A and B are shown apart, each in its own frame.
Chain A
Amino acid sequence: MKTLMMKLMMRLKTRRGVRVVSCEDALSRLFEYLDGELDQISERELGEHFRICRHCYPKLQFERSFMEALHRVRQGETAPVELKRRITEALRAEGPAL
């Protein structure tokens, strides 16, 4: 009896070797997932959850659009050449080898 219960529990808990995570758990770690901050196992678990969960997948896509918009403004801006020149010259005046 006990073994049967155990087996049932195991089947509920795993799906193709990946631990099943709840929606609440998946959503609470959504940003960590998108930021690439999870360990490999957790990342696989959450990835699997988002892949099969109709409730969470749209939320993932929504946050992804948001993050992509932020990342788009990530690059580009550089310091004015004049500022760079001023700083390197001031440092050169202080030190021997710059």
Chain B
Amino acid sequence: MFPNADEEKGLSAEQEFSFKEEALPHLDAVYRFALRLSGSRDVAEDLVQETFFRAHRAWAQYTPGTRCKSWLFTICRNVFLRQRERRQRHDEILTESTEEDPRTLSKENPVFAASRSDDPEGEFFRALVDEEILEAIRELPEEYRTAVVLSDLEGLSYNEIAATMDVPVGTVKSRLFRGRRQLQTRLYEYAVSMGHIAPRSGME
């Protein structure tokens, strides 16, 4: 099933056992991550399969003590990015806009300002169904999406996210900040369109 399997030297019985004990239990988490990253179940399944295949081949190089889940997420994201890069090179189109909504950068939260009079405690967030939240996450640029998914959906620490994405902790903070602001803007727009909250001119 896995290509190039004959290239690997093979793991010792002990290594096979530790892979089974340490890596395989994260299969659900890797699947969720792959699903949030790609937005497609079929793609997610391929990503997970490829991730575990690569992880298995690289298991001899895995340093015990590193958090295995982060390590698997790193592999999964690399596979995803490489595949996407290939697709993009193919049709020469950047699917994600690098343009950033300037509203997300201000210190004051514009969504809070907009919903303040009608819903100061942000109750509308609770009224949203999971699908709407996941859809809004899927619409984030990949770097923000990955940071938000790892932090808010998978519960990783800033340090673990930094290790997974191979960036400094400060970058993780700013990606989370920007990603969450963009997400709030989207969710606010959803909530207004669903009638959970009255529209305010401030956000238009």
Query: Is A79 a contact of B48 with CB atoms below 8 Å?
Result: yes
Query: Is B107 a contact of A91 with CB atoms below 8 Å?
Result: no
Task: Please tell me if A9 contacts chain B, counting CB pairs below 8 Å.
Answer: no
A69–B52 CA distance with the chains assembled, in angstroms: 31
A62–B28 CA distance with the chains assembled, in angstroms: 31
A63 to chain B minimum Cβ distance, whole angstroms, is 8
Q: Interface size bucket, A side?
A: 35 or more
A98–B52 CA distance with the chains assembled, in angstroms: 13
Task: Please tell me if B176 contacts chain A, counting CB pairs below 8 Å.
Answer: yes
Q: Which of A24, A59, A70, A96 sits near B16, CB closer than 8 Å?
A: A96
Query: Is B128 a contact of A69 with CB atoms below 8 Å?
Result: yes
Q: Which residues of B contact A93 (CB under 8 A)?
A: 1
Interface positions, chain A 18-45, Cβ under 8 Å from B, are 24, 27-28, 31-32, 35, 37
Residues of A at under 8 Å CB distance from B? 24, 27-28, 31-32, 35, 37, 58-59, 61-74, 77-80, 83-84, 86-91, 93-98
What 10 A-B pairs are tightest by C-beta distance, nearest first? A65-B122, A79-B31, A69-B125, A97-B16, A70-B152, A97-B13, A62-B122, A90-B1, A95-B16, A73-B130
